[in-house]
Amino acid sequence: MLVLGVGAGAHGARAILTYLDSPHRTPIVSRTARRAPGQSLSTTIATGVDAIHSIAATMSLPVQFSAIAYRVATDPGSVATSGTARTASLVPETAAQVRYLRFIGLVPNHGVTVLCDIGSTGTTVTVIDLASTRTLMTRRTATFCGDDLDHSVRRLLSSNGVRIGIDASRSIKEQLSVDSVVSTTDPSGAARHVLTRRDFDDLIAGPVRYAGMLVEQTIELSGARPQSIVVVGGGANITSIARSLELRTGLTTLVPSMPELVSARGAALLSPDR
């Protein structure tokens, strides 16, 4: 059975087409729809959803169910698709994330875990009772986010004579999650700078410490004793973040493969139930 899952956030949406029994595998089709300035989130989501439906139709692949994972603090009406987009059910983002993490065996059916979701515009820390999927405590900050890290990379390169746009800075940040060294050149060709993963880790050390404080405070406020931390969202690809959280809290800290797709994959799993 083919299902469509969407993870929606302030940046836009990530949509995937996958089989219900194997959402952990590489999606048949995936699309990232970035939100343009002034564009409504629902329009951005509809763009991604419609693109996948169009491709599926071209490939003669029938989509049985669709679901959109959204942050509870967000007005559901702001993410509901309309117009040309096909009808999709709405599921709370945390429920979608827990469903997928449970599917791949990263969290058990009982106990307490902490979800640290690092997105483009903020970080959300949620302490969850796994047996009931009830949120015990959640806090969100805009102080630690992917966009700020992109700007940090851009400023560092600019101070070394390499002036590039924010999209290129984001690409370098993402490349450093895979490679230990990235060489970049100013568009004019007048300057070149080599950025190492160690340089990047030093650059973001302060914000990462702040994220660790937020996790500790959220756990303390929850009154619970979690067994693990799971880092999701695009920012989870930065390996030093999970390592820092584990050292700071003493809790096993896990990062699923392709953490930026956890919400979309969880939404796909929940789509037949809605």
CA distance 214 to 209: 9
Nearest partner of 107 among 255, 264, 272, judged by Cα: 255
**Same-domain pairing of 114 and 52:** no
Are 87 and 118 within one domain?
Answer: no
- Segment 59-79 mean pLDDT: 80
Q: How far apart are CA 15 and CA 103, in angstroms?
A: 19
Q: Are residues 120 and 172 in the same domain?
A: yes
> Which residues touch 120 (CB under 8 Å, ≥6 apart)?
9, 10, 11, 145, 146, 147, 234
Q: Which of 151, 202, 160 is nearest to 185 (CA)?
A: 160
Tell me the whole-structure pTM to 2 decimals.
0.90
Number of compact structural domains in the chain: 2
The pLDDT of residue 260 is above 90: yes
User: Please, what sign has the CA dihedral across residues 48, 69, 88, 24?
Assistant: positive
Are 124 and 185 in the same domain? yes
Strands 112-118 vs 228-232: parallel, antiparallel or unpaired: parallel
Q: Cα(219)–Cα(113) distance, rounded to whole angstroms?
A: 10
pLDDT of 36 higher than 90: no
Cα first-last separation, the chain = 15
pLDDT category, 85, cuts 50, 70, 90?
very low
pLDDT of residue 84: 41
**Percent residues over pLDDT 90 in the chain:** 80
- Of the pLDDT bands very low, low, confident and very high (cuts 50, 70, 90), residue 71 is confident
Q: Are 150 and 187 within one domain?
A: yes
118: pLDDT strictly greater than 80 = yes
DSSP designation for 209: H
pLDDT classification of 88: cutoffs 50, 70, 90? confident
Looking at the fold, whether 140 and 79 belong to one and the same domain comes out as no
What is the arithmetic mean of pLDDT over 83-88?
58
Within 140-238, where are the H helices? 146-159, 166-175, 197-203, 205-222
Q: Decide if pLDDT at 209 tops 90.
A: yes
DSSP label of 170: H
Residue-wise pLDDT tens digits, 131-152: 999 999 999 999 999 999 999 9
Banded model confidence at residue 191, pLDDT cuts 50, 70, 90? confident
Give the mean model confidence (pLDDT) for residues 162-172. Answer: 92
Q: What is the mean pLDDT of the chain?
A: 92
pLDDT at 176 exceeding the cut of 50: yes
Distance CA 170, CA 160 (A): 17
Exposed/middle/buried for residue 131 (C-beta within 10 Å: 0-12, 13-18, 19+): exposed
Residue type, 15: A
Q: Is the pLDDT of residue 189 over 70?
A: yes
**133 and 158 co-located in one domain:** yes
**Does 76 score more than 60 pLDDT?**
no
Residue 274 pLDDT > 70, yes or no?
no
Q: Are residues 245 and 125 in the same domain?
A: yes
Does 81 lie in the same domain as 123? Answer: no
Scanning 104-187, the segments in alpha helix (DSSP H) are: 146-159, 166-175
Q: Rounded CA gap, 104 and 127, in Å? A: 19
User: How many percent of the chain have pLDDT more than 70?
Assistant: 94
* Residue appearing with tokens 């469509």: 4
- Domain around 82: 2-100+261-273
CA-nearest of 50, 58, 38 to 13 is: 50
Residue 266 sits in a domain whose CATH number is 3.30.420.40
Q: Are residues 120 and 244 in the same domain?
A: yes
Residues 123 and 69 in one domain: no
CB burial of residue 134 (10 Å; 0-12, 13-18, 19+): exposed
Answer yes or no: do 250 and 268 share one domain: no
Tell me the angle at which helices 205-222 and 146-159 cross, rounded to the nearest 10 degrees. Answer: 160
